[in-house]
Structure 1
Amino acid sequence: MTSLSSSADTNATATLWTPRLLSVFRIVLGLLFLAHGLVKLFGFPTGAQPGVVPLLSIFGLAGVLELVGGAAIVLGLFTRPVAFILSGQMAVAYFMAHASQGFYPILNGGELAILYSSAFLYLAAVGAGPWSLDARRNA
């Protein structure tokens, strides 16, 4: 009987923590992404690449999407549509900046773009989780 109760405990724990960990994942992802926008728009932290870029450029547009989109993801505000847009941004970034440098992501430096694109696509599918403004709006 212990295997059945152990299985039930595992399922109860998963049921309790899976949505919460989705929220933690979303917040961490948003904070990391937001940092890319801070570098492009404000040069913070100093020394990070690429540094401040012209606002009216493709990198400036990327910086705005990263800053505003990253903040929306952290807050869990309009998560599904924002995550879908950011997933597309990262797919475009991969093909514009990395794919032309070689086929293999490990060699062309595109792993992070692929990872962000995939993570945002996941959030677009599953939503923000319970610790979000989306959950508060829908409650």
Structure 2
Amino acid sequence: MIDFKTAPQAIFALRVTTGLLFLVHGLIKLFVFTPAGTAGYFESLGLPGALSYLTMLVEIAGGIALILGVKARFVSAALVPMLLGAAVFGHGSFGFNWSNPNGGWEYPVMWAVVQAAIAALGDGAYALVPSGKTAGRVHYA
């Protein structure tokens, strides 16, 4: 049973929380690890260094878009492949548990599932630019 009165606020809370976390992750890569350091890390994984700049941009811009509710369904759907890539390339060899040295793959996979859920659920309450014609409407099955 879905509580249609509180579901939009619950989606809003999930959207803003994950948006803040994406924003912080991107800003840490930018200001703490630095773009050059992040690129070096990506290269150490066998990935192109340029992919690190795209990752920082997606995390920062995607985080802001989720916080504000700008096309959140589309942003969340776009974040899923990036998160699955992080699970495979960045953390896959370190095992399941995130508390393992260098982290495990379960945390980015959980993030990917959460983003897929937001993409399926919709924008939630207080979306600045809703995703599509049916955004903000409650549909009863």
* Uncovered stretches (5+) of structure 1, i.e. residues with no partner: 1-10, 44-50
Is residue 30 of structure 1 aligned with residue 25 of structure 2? no
Cα pair 1:80 1:125 within 8 Å, conserved: yes
| Matches for 1:111-130 after TM superposition, within 5 Å | 111-130=106-125
TM-score by length of 1: 0.74
Contact 1:73 1:79 in 2 (8 A): yes
Assess if the C-alpha contact under 8 Å between 1:33 and 1:70 holds in 2. Answer: yes
Q: Secondary structure at the match of 1:27?
A: helix
> Structure 2 vs 1, CA of residues 19 and 95 (structure 1 numbering), >3 Å: closer, same or farther?
same
Letter in 2 for 1:27: V
Aligned to 1:74: 67
Indicate the SS of the match to 1:84.
helix
- Alpha-carbon shift at residue 97 of structure 1 (Å): 1.2
Amino acid of the structure 1 residue aligned with 2:34: V
CA offsets, 1:59-83, max 9 Å, x none?
2221111000111111111111211
Single out whichever of 123-132 and 64-73 deviates more from structure 2.
123-132
CA distance in 1, matches of 2:104, 2:132: 39
The corresponding residue for 1:42 is: 31
Partner of 2:44: none
**What is the RMSD of the two structures over their aligned residues, measured on CA atoms?**
2.5
In 2, the alpha carbon distance for the partners of 1:60 and 1:38 equals: 12
Counterparts of 2:85 and 2:104 in 1: how far apart (Å)? Answer: 14
Equivalent residue letter for 1:116? W
**What per-residue deviation string (whole Å, max 9, x for no partner) do you get for residues 83-125 of structure 1?**
11111100011100111233x3454522321121111111111
Unaligned runs of 5+ in 2: 40-48, 137-141
Q: Which has the greater radius of gyration?
A: 1
Alpha-carbon deviation of 1:33? Answer: 1.1
TM-aligned CA deviation for residue 136 of structure 1: 9.5
